[in-house]
Structure 1
Amino acid sequence: MIEDYMHPSAVNAVADIRIISKGAFRRRFTLAEKVHIKVSTDPVVKVLEEDLLATSNVDLDFQPLIEGLDYLISVEILTGERKAELLKNGAHGEQG
C-alpha cells in the first residue's frame, strides 16, 4: 500500500474546509435561531441576514461574519457555544 511509504501525518492530512455554501451555513442554524433572526426588528440583525442572502458561499474565517455572530450573541440570539458550532470546519457535502 502507498500508505506504507508515506509519513503517518501525511496519510491523515486533510485540508480544512473553511468555505461552505450559503445553504449549508443556513442549515447549521436551529429553527428557533432562524425565527429569532427573521422576526428581529434590530436593523443590525437585518443587515446581517441580508448580507448572508446576498452571497453564494460563506467563508467561515471572514472577519465580518465572525463579528456578526458576536453581535447575535450580544442580542441573545446565539450563545458563544453556538458560534463555535457554526464556525466549525465544513464537511465535504457543505463545500461551496
Structure 2
Amino acid sequence: MASRKEEAAGAAWEGADLERPIEGEDPESNSLREALRWVAVYRHLVKLETELFDVMPNEAQLEAEQTNLPVLASQVERFRHRLDYWQKRRDELEKKGANPA
C-alpha cells in the first residue's frame, strides 16, 4: 500500500503531465459541441485553482504555499495547456463549419 507521501508525489507527477486528459475527454473528437464543453470545463478549473487563494485565510494561504503550491502550480499549468488545446480545436472546428448541436 502506498504511503500518503507516495500518493501525493504520484498526484503531483500526474498533474505535471500536460497532455493527460480528464476522464471522458477525447482530444481527437470532431465534435464542436465537445470542444465547447471542454473549453468550459478547463476555464472553470483554471478559475477555481487560481481564485482558491483569494478566499483562504492568511494562515491557510501560508500553509498551502509551503506544502501545496508546487502541486497547484503544475495543475494550473496543465489546465491552461488543455484549455489552450480545446480553444484551438474549437476554432478549427468552427472554421470547418461544424455545427455545435
TM-score over 0.5 for the pair: no
Larger RCO, structures 1/2 (Cα 8 Å, 6+ apart): 2
TM-score by length of structure 1 reads 0.27
TM-score by length of structure 2 reads 0.26
